[in-house]
Structure 1
Amino acid sequence: MILTYLSGIVALFFAMNIGASGAAASISVAYGSGAIASRKKALLICGIAIFLGAVTGGSEVAKTIGSGIIPQDLLTAKVVLIILSSAALSLFLANLLGIPLSTSEITVGSIVGVGIAQQALYIKNIFVIAAFWVIVPVVAFTIAFLLGKLIAVVNKKYPQLREKRAQKILAVFVVIVGFFEAFSAGMNNVANAIGPLVGAHLISMNTGIVLGGFFIAMGAILLGGNVLQTNAKKITRFSLLEGGTISGTGSLLVITASLFGLPVPLTQVTSTAIMGIGVAKKGKNTVNKQVISKIVKVWVVSPIVSLVISYSLIKIFVDSDIYTIIVLLSVSVATFGILSLVKTIKKENSSYVEQGEGI
């Protein structure tokens, strides 16, 4: 019973961090384009939309997370606690850095880590999910790029769109579309927090979705500021019409995926759509490459980190296999050591070149 309560607490903590991370992906466009001037108002709208999306359409993805990756009979209270703790730790660290992180990736990574440790995985389902992690962002980039080119033509042909009255209408449109994108975030992301609990029958689907949706909304409102600022201001600049295109692309793709029960990376969908608009507008140099590079690295590393954490916790607390943990720690130390050594060598080589010295 204690493990059940602990699992519930971690799930709600995870839900709040999902809200903090998802805020950037779901309402940042409306804020970044100027349709919503206040950051507090943007986060409040985001929270309301996320809650409504969760309670009206979050069940399909929850079923996938709860029973579509590993056999449902593996999901005991202890295993659920390990899955949620691994995912929550990964996401919490990313939120502290202000990086928009895909909660779907880290949750699936945590579950896969458990499946590898227990040698029980639905491999086909995992490949399908992973394939859509690549396909959906690519589609988002392509749609946004093409629409960005169309917007350039429209702006040139109809200069009256820059007038104050037209801008007010466009601002309302962007806020509405942004609301639906946040709605889609609730549909897709609530499963990451409550799916394992539902799969283990520790909570009913309806109760889990309501509680999960509420805490995700609170996370967006109270903790989403840093990630919102990163996605809205530091990647590229965009107009109201461009912002509406980004939000519309994201909401359409994520709502569609949610209806089919597919957990997709909303942050990647929105961020790649922003990149598509930026490239269409002024070429590839318009995008802040340093920020993009940082985000992409976290995207790649995050599911692996959560996988390793959950795998290690299973080996410690379920299998009592200390030897595997020693190997993992040794690999980690060796990896960090090699990276540090490479960094030192590069710095030394740079110093020799600058000072005109050599060996």
Structure 2
Amino acid sequence: MVGILLVVGVVVAMFVAYNIGGSTTGPAFGPAVGADAISKTTAAALMGVFFFIGAWTLGRNVVTKLGSELVVDPGVFTLETSIAVLFFIGVALLMGNLFGVPASTSMTAVGAIAGLALAGGVLDVAVMGEILTWWIVSPVIGFWVSLIIGRYFYARLNRMVAIERSSGPLIEVDRSGAVPLPKLHRTTNRRELIGTVTVVAIGCLMAFSSGTSNIANAVAPLVGSGEVAMNPAIIVGGIAVTIGAFTIARRTLETMGSDITELPLTAAIVVASVSSTLVIFLSALGIPASFVIIATMSIVGLGWGRATRPVTVPEAVSGGESPPVTVDALAADEAGEELPPIGEEDVEDIPSPGSLFNPATTARVVLMQNIVPAIATVGSYLTFRFVPLFGL
């Protein structure tokens, strides 16, 4: 019986990891595929490699946090409870897909495990408080960092990373020697190379950050139960993520998969860089982080920073009125042209910050990102508290 349950648990964990691969490959490599920098197959391969590197290095910190430190008695993780927790995570992914909003697997995993711990009276309140604190602080950091970038550096970055497509492939193979060697195509220019390398590197960074945080969502309950060791669990989870990247992620790569990659290329790179860096930092601390929540607030901060360029710091502090940015200035910003100094744009048409991001979509994402983990927490608690099967 234990053998059958173990097989079921591994299959459910792989299903969760498979969905993680499908849902995160698009946001990571959508900009690179959309810019024709790499193919979908290459994107899937890079996703698998860098996700595994992130999982194998920093990811085990988060697995340990969720699988043992969040509960004062790891014995609460039996095979039955582990399978049930993974079930709640899988349901959360389904709910997010049905509502068109990617649910945070990290927040949902913490919620489901916290519900189990509350039902068994073994929740470590200090660890839970640390996680909740970082969940509040990290989106605020993402907002302000992105706001500063949008206000002071966006136009310059836009000129640096904009991809200019030349005729022919970016790389060609030189077969004149004994060993074929890759080299730049003769029509490839320096700006095209820098832009392509940048957008692909950011995708790899996002894949790495996903591995550091998301591997725990698939394998932490099984590792916490003691039935599966850390290293085999990470390997199995990494394989499942790679399969998801090569299969169901192809559609998300076509449509860019998320609101992040529907941004202009430079904005997508800024949001991805800020969000991924924060997720990696939190993973090093063992904190499971929600990339989507951080990225959403980064989008808001970036849009707000770009929309408030006409407001000087003294004017903002004094509360005096100052003209918001004009459409012409925003168009120049997008084109990578030099903008007038801060606070000196001409006032013609006045767009609101909401014209740079969709407030309704933002509200829906934030709402669902909190509702789904809350449902998982309550559902998990009620299940483990009142269903005799689990014996808590």
Equivalent position of 2:11 in the other structure: 9
Query: What whole-Å deviation, never above 9, does each CA across 1:146-187 have from its counterpart, x for those lacking one?
Result: 11222245369x799787642441231121122112111111
Query: What whole-Å deviation, never above 9, does each CA across 1:167-219 have from its counterpart, x for those lacking one?
Result: 44123112112211211111111011111111111101100011111212222
How many aligned residue pairs are there? 318
Distance 1:160 1:65, change over 3 A: closer
Equivalent position of 2:337 in the other structure: none
Instruction: Report the Cα offset of residue 281 of structure 1.
Output: 2.9
Give the secondary structure class of the aligned counterpart of 2:240: helix
Equivalent position of 2:145 in the other structure: 143
Q: Is the 8 A contact 2:275 2:291 kept in 1?
A: yes
Q: Does 1:296 find its partner at 2:298?
A: no
Give the secondary structure class of the aligned counterpart of 1:51: helix
Q: Is the 8 A contact 2:92 2:105 kept in 1?
A: no
CA distance in 1, matches of 2:31, 2:74: 38
Write the mapping of 1:18-29 to structure 2, written as runs, cut at 5 A. Answer: 18-29=20-31
Q: Does 1:203 find its partner at 2:228?
A: yes
Please point out which of 242, 256, 262 is paired with 1:217: 242
Equivalent position of 1:275 in the other structure: 300
Instruction: Report the Cα offset of residue 67 of structure 1.
Output: 0.7
Equivalent position of 1:105 in the other structure: 107
Of stretches 84-93 and 284-293 in structure 1, the one that deviates more from structure 2 is: 284-293
Please point out which of 201, 206, 213 is paired with 1:181: 206
Distance 1:162 1:155, change over 3 A: farther
Query: What whole-Å deviation, never above 9, does each CA across 1:50-84 have from its counterpart, x for those lacking one?
Result: 12222233211110010121220111111111111
- TM-score of the superposition, structure 2-length normalised? 0.73
CA distance in 1, matches of 2:97, 2:298: 21
Of stretches 245-254 and 162-171 in structure 1, the one that deviates more from structure 2 is: 162-171
Q: Is the 8 A contact 1:236 1:286 kept in 2?
A: no
Give the secondary structure class of the aligned counterpart of 1:105: helix
Distance 1:160 1:319, change over 3 A: closer
Write the mapping of 1:299-318 to structure 2, written as runs, cut at 5 A. Answer: 299-314=369-384, 315-318=386-389
Percent of pairs with identical residues: 27
Distance 1:160 1:13, change over 3 A: closer
CA distance in 2, matches of 1:160, 1:119: 52
CA distance in 2, matches of 1:109, 1:302: 9
CA distance in 2, matches of 1:110, 1:305: 9
CA distance in 2, matches of 1:44, 1:155: 28
RMSD: 2.8
Instruction: Report the Cα offset of residue 3 of structure 1.
Output: 2.1
Distance 1:183 1:15, change over 3 A: same
Q: Is the 8 A contact 2:163 2:195 kept in 1?
A: no
- TM-score of the superposition, structure 1-length normalised? 0.79
Q: Is the 8 A contact 2:62 2:216 kept in 1?
A: yes
Distance 1:213 1:312, change over 3 A: same
Which amino acid letter does the alignment assign opposite residue 82 of structure 1? A
Instruction: Report the Cα offset of residue 40 of structure 1.
Output: 5.5
Answer 1 or 2: which has greater helix percent.
1
CA distance in 2, matches of 1:226, 1:109: 29
Which amino acid letter does the alignment assign opposite residue 371 of structure 2? V
- Structure 1 gaps, min length 5: 322-359
- Structure 2 gaps, min length 5: 166-188, 308-352
